Structure formats: structure tokens, C-alpha cells
Amino acid sequence: MSMPFYLGIPALVSVGALALGLFPRFFNKSPIANLPGPPAGSVLLGNVPQVMDPRTAGKFTASLCETYGPVHQIHGALGERLLHVFDPRALHSILVADMEHFPKELAPINALRFLLGPGMLGSEGLQHRRQRKLLNSAFSQTHLRNMMPMMFEVGDKLRGAMAEHVTTKAEELDVNAWMAKTSLDILGHAFLGYSFDSFVEDSRDSLGESIKSFFAVFGKVSLVAFLVPSLSHFLPESLIRMLFRVFPFSANLHRLLDISDTMRRRATEIVQVKKAALNKGDEELLRRVGEGKDIMSLLLKSNMIASEDDKISDDEVIAQVSTIMLAGLDTTSNALSHILYVLAQDTTAQEQLRAELLAAQRPSFAGRSTSSIPHDELMRLPYLDAVFRETLRLYPPVGFMSRRAATDIVLPLTWPVCGKDGSMMHEVVVPKGTLVVPNLQACNRNKALWGDDALEWRPERWMEELPKELYEAHVPGIYSNLMTFSGGGRSCIGVKFAELETKIVLSILLTAFKFELTDKPVVWNFSVVDYPTMGESSTKPELLLKVSPLLAAPATEKDSLVPPSASCSDTSVTPHSFIDKGIGGSKTTIRVHHGAVDQTMVTTGSPSTVMRHVKAVLEGMGVDVIIEGDYKYRCTRPKRTHVRLDDPGTPDASSPPHQVSSYTEPEAGSDAMRVAAAVPGSTPGSVPPIGVAAIYGVAQQDGGDEVRFAVELTRLAQLDGTYSLDVRRLKGNLRSYTFLYDTLRQRVDLQR
């Protein structure tokens, strides 16, 4: 699309003004020019290409720190000089003591404010302090404790979903993608009271997809981070957006704008629904995911009762949705990936951690049916804690940050620096406008603080006395002498959330699976948030590890007796000959239940009788049933052909009776055997006759779409002879599925 000429004028003027404004840098000598530092990589771009390339940035910045020490200069674009720093006193000044003089940006708008709105990452001064005050209380320790059962529940779903991929032997899984799904679901529930359904096959939520791809796309158009603040000096935000839309810059820029638009639209919808629920009262909230205990509901409640001075605007509330989801997603999921990666490298440490976790597990507590560890114990487990701290010390997901000096300011130093002119500098004069880059990773790895083994991954250091040099340096990080979560008034608000989530997920995964390296190399890329790729040439964030199950659910004596003898014409049970082949490996065992239990689906009936009964009920609902095992059915309720608005729960009389049209004969050796869902008495080898019409709810309740779900009988580990009928959505609208679940629950009536 060609650009209208009237839009071209301001664009040309702004680019020209930008160039003229920046050009004098080449000629003005900055006071930081006397600091040691590398030669410029290029006249125009300085060292920017080396610092911005995720592949080279990690090694390059580490070598700068090693060569030039805790405070040095780097060449920026167009003659700019950047201050690269990991000296503890200087960090304290930038992040704590003189924080107000070191905002994120001096321009009216920074890139994150432009893309996400006026949330925590994009606001400054009073506006930021007001937001932080409100959010601080919502992130309190008490509220976090309330979120623990929900985090366990998502962890259980992760374990269940992973177990389906890893049944008997080691499989290569993209652990990074699994951790992203887990963190998205945990954040969705805990922060928004919203379910992203990450473990449901084919589930694609536009907000979830936008959040997951944001940083990857942003990283491809990092020029935006430079252009937006510069342009915002002379152009309003709306015009910058319009310019970006009409300029044929790049497809990625347009994609980034689309992502930003989607996030704003979905965030607005979510906040509106929450506000409406809050206005209707607690009953309505209790019915929703998160039951009103989610951080966003708490924030909205606090904002309603806050004084006029403390209140934040609707725009600010909406902006927090994308801001906090982004701040908490890749950071925590990539930290989890990194921990699993180092444990795959060091299998002795993995075994030690597993032993500690298994020993701490309680069979059941606080309504949980699966084994898990209560909050206080989990947070105090010494080796888990040491592994968490040590991995986040050596591999902080956010390696560096940026600030701008708002005034000329003197930076105190812990260690004096020898200037290029040979003078010893005990402090550094930082001119207004200087871009300051605190390097968090370099501080965490500083041998002067951590000792000669600072570059080694050694969790035991946390169980010993830490070096006295570390204590004496007063590193300003909020967590454990580390800079990983930054320090001061803009430090990470989600530090405890991240710790709790990471420890819960590790406690679930390491007690169920073993993680090993594959023979493919893994590369960690240094970016806004560090991420793994498989090999040097791939750009896809990915971490392949070999995952194998630790415990196969043992078959009980009772289990091995089922199913009872059945004739081949009885389609309600799988013929014995089929089972005896052992296809799928789990035909004759009942798996142990994971996750929360729906009490109405618990039964002490004989498993084979229960399964026959359940199948008959499903047939009565016109559902297609595939027998996947003695205790597992895969079900499909077909799409409605005509929309009806009459009473719920009745077969759709206006549509033709549902025909089992996709019947296929079971192949010898196939894992699943399809049966005629609606017709008792049909045999596997016969084409089923026309069956019962499928069931649909009223349109408001049930969209009439195709719904696929799995029904499985599992046994409760701690209660002999007690089973749970687990139903899991695989595909289809949540409301339609809920209608089917409720109908099935009523009709099977397992409590009778």
C-alpha cells in the first residue's frame, strides 16, 4: 500500500529532526568517554549489533565485564555512549537511592507503554507508584497461599497431559513449550481468574497466543524500542501508530501492532466481565474460574474502595492484564526450562532433588487426592531451594535492564576504576540522557562477590555459609543477594509468585518423570528474556529433553480380574482376545487418579459394571464412543445441524437422528476400537445401524459444536476400591462441554 503524501510530510520531518537531534553526539565529548570500554563495532551503530544479537550478546557482554570491569562504556548508535554497569554501589544508586533520577525512559512514551498501554512496565513517577501500591497488596503472601491449590491443579493437568505422551518409555518432548503452557494456565487462573485451557488439544485462545508470541515478534523489530521514544517527542501516540501501519516497514511490525491490538481488545473484555461480576456480588464471582480470589478481582475490589488519590483509571487497569501476563510468563517458564535443563545435565542432582521431594510428599491434605507438599514445607525444602536459587543466580532469565539519567548525576562506586587517562575514578559523572544498562547477570556471577567458583552451577553453596564479601557489598537485589529480580521501587512484584509456581511445578514433574539430555545441542539465547533453541541455526524457542515415566501405575489384584468374561457379541466390553495382545500397554490397568476430585463422580462400584453403565449413558446421549482401553473411552458429540432454542438436555428433534457415520472396522493391532455408540448389541465387525439423536442444550448454554472428550475410570491412590470417573475436554467450546459433563454426571448418578 502506498503512503498518502500528507502522512509522508510529518514522517520525513520527524526522521530528519531525529537525525539532526542525534548527530551532535558524534562531536560532543561525554564525561563517560574516559571510562574503559571496547572499540566501536561500526561507525553508525557502535556495538549495538553485537549487543542486540541473541546469539552473540551473552558472550559479548560477559567478555566486556571480564575485560573492562564493573563500570565501563559501550558505543551505542549514532555516537551515543552507554554505561554498562554491575558495580553494587552504582546499582544501588540507580535502582534504589536515586531511582527517581533513573526512569526507564525520558521520552513521553516508551515502547512498552505504546504496545501495552499505561501498565506497570510502561508508567513512571506518581502513576507508577499508585499502580504498584494497589498491586502490591494483591500479590501479598496471604493471597499467594490461596492460589496454591489452583497452582497444584494446573500442575496435575500438566502431569496428566505429559503422561499421555510418555506412557512406557522415554520420549523427546519440547519441555520449553510445556512450561509455557503451564505458566500461561497458572497465570490465567491466578492473575485473571481465566482459563486458557492450555492442555486441551486444539485450544487456541487469541489472548494466550498473543502473549506467547509477543516477545519473539518484538525481538524481531527491536527498532521500535528506539523509534517510539524518539518519535513521541514530537508526535502523538495515535499518529505514530498510524505511521507504523502505513509505512511498509516490515511484516513483523504489522504483526506486532496486531498482537498489541488483540491484547488490548481481549484485556478490555476480561476486565469488563470481571467488573460486571463484582457488581453482581460474591455469588457471581464464586461461580467463575478463580472464585474471585484472582489478583485482578482483588485489584478491582481495592481500586473501588481506594481514595481518589490512590485510584487508577480503567485504561491503567486494562493495561495491567497484558503487562503482568507478559512480565510473568516467559520469565517463569524459561526459568523452569532452565532448571530442568541443568538437572538433565546433572542427573545426580536430579536424583537428590527427587529423593527430597518424594520424602516430603504427604498422601493427601487440604482436599487434594494426590500426594503433594504443604506450602510451608515446600518453600523450606533445602535442596529444592538451593537448586532454585543457584539456577536463577547463574542463569537469570532477565540478564540486563535499561534506564536513562534524567539529570546530570554522580554515581558512587564500590571499586574505583582506572580511567583511560590513567586517573583513578572513585565515582562517575553521568550526564543527563545517558542510557544506563545494569547487567544483572554479571553481578550474580561476579567472582569478587561469589568466589572463584562463581561460574559453576553448585547448589550446595546455598547450604553453606555465603562469602563475607557478598554480605559486605550490599547487593541491592530484593531476593537473596541476587539481582535476578532487580531491586528498589521497580523490582519484580511477582518474585514470590514465581518462586511458588516454580517449586510446585518442579515438585510435580520430578516425582513423576525423569529428564535427560538428547544428543542435540541446546543453545541459550541472550534476549529481553533468555530462551533456548536447538542448535545454532534454529531461531525457534525450543528445548528438547528425553522424558520418561518414573512409576507405572501397578495393577491391583482387583484390576486384573476385570473385565469379566464376556461374549464377543457383547459390545459393552472389549473382547478378551483384543486385550490380551496388550496393545497400548495399559488395557488391563486402572491408572491412578491425578488432580482434584469431583465428589459426585466417585464410586466404589465394580469397574467393569461402572464402565458398562457409563457407556450405556453415553449411548443414550447420542455420543460416539471409541474404546481406548478397558477403562477409557474417547467420545465425540457431533456438531448440531439445526439450531434449536427449546428445552435443554433433549435430543435435537429437528435434526435427523445422529448416525454413526464414521464407523470403521477395528484394524488388527489398532489401539482403539470404535463401536456403535448408540446401539447395544452391535458387534465390532458389523456396520452399526442408525443410532440415537445426539443431545444439545439451549443455544445460550451449548453452541451445538462438535465436542470431543475423554472419559476414564481412575483409582484413588489412597482409597482401596474407590474410583473416580474423570472426564476431560479434548476439543470444543467450554460451555458446550460443560453442558455435556453436567448431563453425563446427572445421568450416570454414581452416588446412587
Q: Which residues bind ligand HEM (CB under 6 A)?
A: 120-121, 132, 191, 324, 327-328, 331-332, 335, 396-398, 401, 484-486, 490, 492-494, 497-498
Query: Which helix (H) or strand (E) is 73 found in, with range?
Result: strand 71-75
Question: Shortest Cβ distance from residue 356 to ligand HEM (Å)?
Answer: 21
C-beta closer to ligand HEM: residue 120 or 512? 120
Q: Closest residue to ligand HEM, Cβ-based?
A: 494
C-beta closer to ligand HEM: residue 121 or 343? 121
Burial of 332 (0-12, 13-18, 19+ CB in 10 A): buried
**How many degrees, rounded to 5, is the angle at CA 246 between CA 241 and CA 248?**
115
C-beta closer to ligand HEM: residue 400 or 709? 400
C-beta closer to ligand HEM: residue 151 or 449? 151
| Closest C-alpha to 512, from 150, 195, 21, 157 | 157
User: What would the grid cell of residue 309 be?
Assistant: 488519590
Question: Shortest Cβ distance from residue 459 to ligand HEM (Å)?
Answer: 16
Write the CA distances from 342 to 176, 332, 388, 425, integer angstroms.
13, 15, 11, 40
C-beta closer to ligand HEM: residue 329 or 349? 329
C-beta closer to ligand HEM: residue 90 or 327? 327
C-beta closer to ligand HEM: residue 486 or 589? 486
Q: Give the rounded distance of the alpha carbon of 560 from its chain centre.
A: 40
CA dist., res. 190 & res. 329, Å (int): 12
| Closest C-alpha to 298, from 186, 375, 197, 190 | 190
**Residue pair 496/378 in contact by the 8 Å Cβ criterion:** no
Q: Give the rounded distance of the alpha carbon of 383 from its chain centre.
A: 24
Question: Would you give the DSSP letter of residue 192?
Answer: I
Cα dihedral across residues 455, 179, 725, 636: positive or negative: negative
Q: How many CB atoms lie within 10 A of CB 660?
A: 22
The amino acid occupying position 665 is E
Question: Shortest Cβ distance from residue 514 to ligand HEM (Å)?
Answer: 24
Question: Shortest Cβ distance from residue 397 to ligand HEM (Å)?
Answer: 4
**How many degrees, rounded to 5, is the angle at CA 56 between CA 54 and CA 221?**
35
Question: Shortest Cβ distance from residue 411 to ligand HEM (Å)?
Answer: 18
Question: Would you give the DSSP letter of residue 28?
Answer: S
Write the CA distances from 200 to 185, 342, 449, 710, integer angstroms.
11, 29, 47, 11
Find cell 554501589 and name the residue: 89
Write the CA distances from 459 to 67, 353, 381, 386, 462, integer angstroms.
27, 11, 13, 5, 6
Spatial CB neighbours of 594, under 8 Å, sequence gap ≥ 6: 156, 159, 160, 163, 370, 714
CA dist., res. 490 & res. 100, Å (int): 10
- Residue 74 has, within 13 A of its CA and on its CB side, a CA count of 30
Question: Shortest Cβ distance from residue 267 to ligand HEM (Å)?
Answer: 14
C-beta closer to ligand HEM: residue 328 or 575? 328
C-beta closer to ligand HEM: residue 379 or 717? 379
Detail the residues annotated as belonging to a binding site for heme: 492
Question: Shortest Cβ distance from residue 651 to ligand HEM (Å)?
Answer: 46
What are phi and psi for residue 137, nearest 5 degrees?
-70, -35
Question: Shortest Cβ distance from residue 290 to ligand HEM (Å)?
Answer: 14
Question: Shortest Cβ distance from residue 48 to ligand HEM (Å)?
Answer: 19
Question: Would you give the DSSP letter of residue 46?
Answer: B
Q: Give the rounded distance of the alpha carbon of 521 from its chain centre.
A: 24
Write the CA distances from 301 to 143, 212, 266, 295, 745, integer angstroms.
14, 28, 20, 10, 35
Find cell 544479537 and name the residue: 53
Question: Shortest Cβ distance from residue 10 to ligand HEM (Å)?
Answer: 31
Question: Shortest Cβ distance from residue 473 to ligand HEM (Å)?
Answer: 19
CA dist., res. 264 & res. 269, Å (int): 9
Spatial CB neighbours of 656, under 8 Å, sequence gap ≥ 6: 641, 693
C-beta closer to ligand HEM: residue 370 or 486? 486
Question: Shortest Cβ distance from residue 208 to ligand HEM (Å)?
Answer: 15
C-beta closer to ligand HEM: residue 190 or 744? 190
C-beta closer to ligand HEM: residue 499 or 628? 499
**Residue pair 593/717 in contact by the 8 Å Cβ criterion:** yes
Helices 175-187, 206-220: axis angle to 10 degrees equals 120
3-state helix, strand and coil shares in percent for the chain, rounded to the nearest 5: 45, 15, 40
Question: Shortest Cβ distance from residue 315 to ligand HEM (Å)?
Answer: 17
Would you list the DSSP string of 293-346? Answer: -SHHHHHHHHHHHS-TTT---HHHHHHHHHHHHHHHHHHHHHHHHHHHHHHHH-
Detail the residues annotated as belonging to a binding site: 492
| Closest C-alpha to 340, from 164, 524, 160 | 524
C-beta closer to ligand HEM: residue 74 or 398? 398
C-beta closer to ligand HEM: residue 390 or 628? 390
Question: Shortest Cβ distance from residue 383 to ligand HEM (Å)?
Answer: 19
Question: Shortest Cβ distance from residue 94 to ligand HEM (Å)?
Answer: 10
Write the CA distances from 415 to 274, 278, 307, 454, integer angstroms.
52, 54, 46, 19
The amino acid occupying position 387 is V
C-beta closer to ligand HEM: residue 401 or 596? 401
